[in-house]
Structure formats: C-alpha cells, structure tokens
C-alpha cells in the first residue's frame, strides 16, 4: 500500500522525488514551500501533470499533519534547516531529508544532532539524512562492497560525473563557466557549496566498521578547462571553471584508511569505482555512472518506504544496513 507523503521543500529535487513517488504508487498529500510562485497552486499543475491532485502548496508546516513520511529537501547545511526538520517532527511523521550534513550530523553539528534525536524520540518518530551522495554511492555502496573482504586495510571510493549532463542549479553550485579565482573565493566564503558531504561519507564508512578515526580531512578545488569544452550544449572556454574535484579522507595514527573522491566537471567520465584492499584480498568494483538526480529520488523513496517501524530518534544509514567491515 502506498504512503501518504508530505514534502517540505518543493524545488527541483522535491518535485523530482514527488514525480517518482507517484510512479511508485504513493500519494503526495501535502507540500510546504516559501516560493510565492507556487503557493496556492495545485501540486499536479506544479508538476506539469495532466490531472490535478487536489493538494495545494502552502507555507504552513501544519498542513503536513496526517502524512506518513515527510520528505525534506531544502538545504545542505543542518544549522540552517534544522528548525524545519523539528517542525516536520512536530506533526508526528517520520522525516527523510536530503540535507547532506544530516547524513552524519555528529561531525559538524553535534548539539543540533542531539536536539533532533531527543525531539524525534519524544514524538516517537525517526529522522534520517540520505541521498545519492552522501547516503549511497560513496558510503553505503562502499560498505556493501567491503563486506566481501574479511579484513580491510583501506577503502577508496570515487564518483566521477560529467556536469554537462546535470541540471543548471547543479552546474551553478560547482561554478561551471565562471572565473576560477572567483569560484575559489566563493567556495571559501561559503557562497557556493560545490559538493557537501566528503567528511560525512568517510565517517559513515568508519561508523559501519566501528572504527575510531584519529583525523578527518576534506578539500575541494576548481577544475580549470585546459581547452575549450563543448558537451551536451554546455560551453566552457579555455581557462574557465569546468567544475570541481574534491576528497575526504580518514586516518588512523597517520595512515589513510578511508578515502572518498568526487570529480564533477564538464567532460568528466561517468563512473563510480570502489576499491577495497585487505591483506588477503583486493576488490575493485566499477560502474558506468549513476544519474544523480533520479538516483537521489530513488534512494530517498526507498528509505521512506523502509523507515516506518524503525526505532524513534535520529538514524544513520549505517543503522539500516547489515554490513560491518573490519579494519586492521
């Protein structure tokens, strides 16, 4: 039987999740957003459907009452959106959020994480942050691949994607076509996010393994086009920013044991690669690439379909999966 879903945030990702939810037999029961261009409009119309759904977008979170699960999709940084999550918890629904830093909130926002956990427990509901990345490709998938290795020495996970195939908002957040020095400065000031979640993916892998890391590092920088690039209607002149490349790494006593990388720029090869090294085995898994937006929708909905009946409180993806790698 389908779920009654509420949406807190109905931008491009929220709408994509809603469309896939309808395809999977779920009901879009409520939508909350602050965009004046959609307030009061029927959700079917907003989604470009032929039929109306009888649900209008509202800025009042109280319309979420009665839904089974709230899909939260408004921002990447928990300190900016946690009050929205608390409001969703207050209606008595489980919450699945695309907020990247909620995937492992104890790293950047331990106080807020404890607040959300306590609030969710008091309401008897569950909250989790997930998506395609962090949430799946560079952490859950790496954990699953590592399950075939009895003892692990090092895990490396790479996601590479051609940014010209992604939606315009994604291209903007990685500075496609802009002056590299301007992009670097905007990344430094937090005015442009690039990718958010390198450390969160590293820490999810460590959490699954019960591994205490002595240090976590993360960094990203622009990729400068060495020549004019033309791909899928996107033009990047030589010397301009084609996207970003970054990494997160976890260390034990100075030894790198976990590394995740993202290569997101125009013209990049599409693939994911997981490499697991152990004293007795070495496994390398490689894909032909995953569509980030549709992948996010699928992962979020899969978790929404599974979260009912889970223990109340703040959950991690590692609470939902059975695999627990063991490091030397």
Tens-place pLDDT, residues 103-113: 999 999 999 99
Q: What is the pLDDT of residue 190?
A: 87
The verdict on residue 101 lying in a domain is yes
The DSSP H or E segment spanning 241 is strand 241-252
Any idea which of 62-71, 189-198, 298-307 has the lowest mean pLDDT? Answer: 189-198
User: Could you tell me which of 292, 78, 37 has the C-alpha nearest to residue 10?
Assistant: 37
Q: What's the CATH number where 66 sits?
A: 3.40.50.720
Domain shared by 280 and 308, yes or no:
no
In a domain, 326, yes or no: no
- What are the residues whose beta carbons fall under 8 Å from the beta carbon of 229, sequence distance 6 or more? 235, 236, 242, 266, 267
CATH of the domain at 145: 3.30.360
User: Is there a domain that residue 327 lies in?
Assistant: no
Cα–Cα dist 157/263, whole Å? 11
Chain segment 237-294, per-residue pLDDT in tens: 999 999 999 999 999 999 999 999 999 999 999 999 999 999 999 999 999 999 989 9
Give the distance, in angstroms, between the CA of residue 202 and the centroid of all CA atoms in the same chain: 14
Give the sheet arrangement for strand 271-277, strand by strand. Answer: 215-224, 241-252, 255-265, 154-162, 271-277, 282-286
Task: Specify whether 113 is located in the same domain as 156.
Answer: no
For the chain, give the number of residues: 328
Whether residues 223 and 302 share a domain: the answer is: no
Question: Which residues partner with 264 through β-bridges?
Answer: 161, 244
Residues 49 and 157 in one domain: no
pLDDT in tens, 127-178: 999 999 999 999 999 999 999 999 999 999 999 999 999 999 899 999 999 9
Print the domain residue range for 29. Answer: 4-131+295-319
What does the pLDDT read at residue 80? 97
pLDDT value, residue 285: 97
| pLDDT tens digits along 68-92 | 999 999 999 999 999 999 999 999 9
Q: Are residues 117 and 249 in the same domain?
A: no
pLDDT at 323: 96
In a domain, 310, yes or no: yes
Looking at the fold, whether 203 and 127 belong to one and the same domain comes out as: no
Supply the pLDDT for residue 164.
96
Q: Contact at 8 Å (CB) between 94 and 303?
A: no
Contact between 129 and 305 (Cβ < 8 Å)? no
Cα-trace Rg, the chain = 20
Question: Do residue 8 and residue 126 come from a single domain?
Answer: yes
Angle, helices 78-90/110-123, rounded to nearest 10 degrees: 10
**Helix or strand run (H / E) with residue 42:** none
Domain membership of residue 325 (yes or no) is: no
92 domain-assigned:
yes
**pLDDT in the model for residue 38:** 98
200 is a domain residue: yes
Q: Verify that 252 and 155 share a domain, yes or no.
A: yes
- Tell me the mean pLDDT in the region 7-24: 97
- Same domain? For 220 and 80 the reply is no
Q: What are phi and psi of 216, to 5 degrees?
A: -130, 130
66 shares its domain with 185:
no
pLDDT in tens, 297-325: 999 999 999 999 999 999 999 999 999 99
Element (H, E) at 189: helix 180-189
124 and 210 co-located in one domain: no
Task: Give CA–CA dist 164/255, Å, rounded.
Answer: 36
Phi-psi region of 282 (alpha: psi -120 to 50; beta: other; left: phi over 0): beta
The CB density around residue 182, as the number of other CB atoms within 10 Å, is 14
Angle, alpha carbons 319-322-82 (nearest 5°): 20
Q: Look at the chain and report how many structural domains it folds into.
A: 2
Q: Measured between alpha carbons, how far is 99 from 70 in angstroms, rounded to an integer?
A: 13
Both 309 and 179 in one domain: the answer is no
């Amino acid at each position: 039987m389908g779920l009654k879903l509420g949406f807190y945030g109905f931008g491009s990702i929220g709408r994509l999740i809603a469309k896939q939810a309808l395809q999977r037999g779920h009901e879009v029961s409520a939508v909350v957003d602050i965009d004046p261009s959609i307030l009061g409009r029927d959700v079917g119309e907003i989604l470009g459907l032929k039929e109306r759904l009888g649900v209008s977008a509202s800025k009042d979170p109280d319309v979420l009452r009665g839904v089974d699960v709230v899909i939260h999709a408004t921002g990447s940084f928990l300190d900016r959106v946690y009050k929205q999550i608390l409001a969703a918890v207050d209606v008595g629904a489980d919450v699945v959020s695309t907020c990247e830093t909620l995937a492992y909130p104890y790293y950047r926002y331990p106080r807020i994480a404890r607040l959300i956990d306590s609030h969710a427990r008091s309401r008897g509901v569950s909250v989790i942050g997930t998506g395609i990345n962090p949430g799946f490709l560079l952490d859950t998938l790496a954990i699953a691949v590592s399950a075939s290795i009895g003892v692990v020495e090092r895990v490396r996970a790479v996601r590479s994607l051609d940014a010209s195939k992604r939606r315009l908002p994604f291209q903007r957040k990685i500075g496609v076509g802009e002056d590299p020095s301007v992009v670097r400065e905007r990344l430094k000031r937090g005015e442009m996010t690039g990718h958010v979640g390198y450390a969160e993916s590293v820490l999810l892998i460590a959490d699954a393994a019960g591994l205490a890391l002595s240090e976590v590092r993360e960094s990203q920088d622009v990729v400068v086009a060495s020549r004019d690039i033309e791909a899928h209607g996107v033009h990047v002149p030589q010397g301009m920013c084609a996207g970003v490349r970054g990494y997160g790494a976890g260390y034990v006593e100075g030894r790198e044991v976990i590394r995740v990388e993202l290569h997101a720029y125009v013209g990049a090869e599409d693939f994911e690669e997981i490499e697991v090294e152990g004293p007795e085995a070495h496994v390398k898994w490689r894909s032909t690439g995953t569509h980030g937006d549709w992948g996010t929708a699928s992962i979020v909905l899969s978790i929404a379909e599974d979260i009912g009946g889970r223990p109340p409180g703040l959950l991690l993806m590692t609470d939902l999966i059975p695999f627990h790698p063991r490091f030397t």
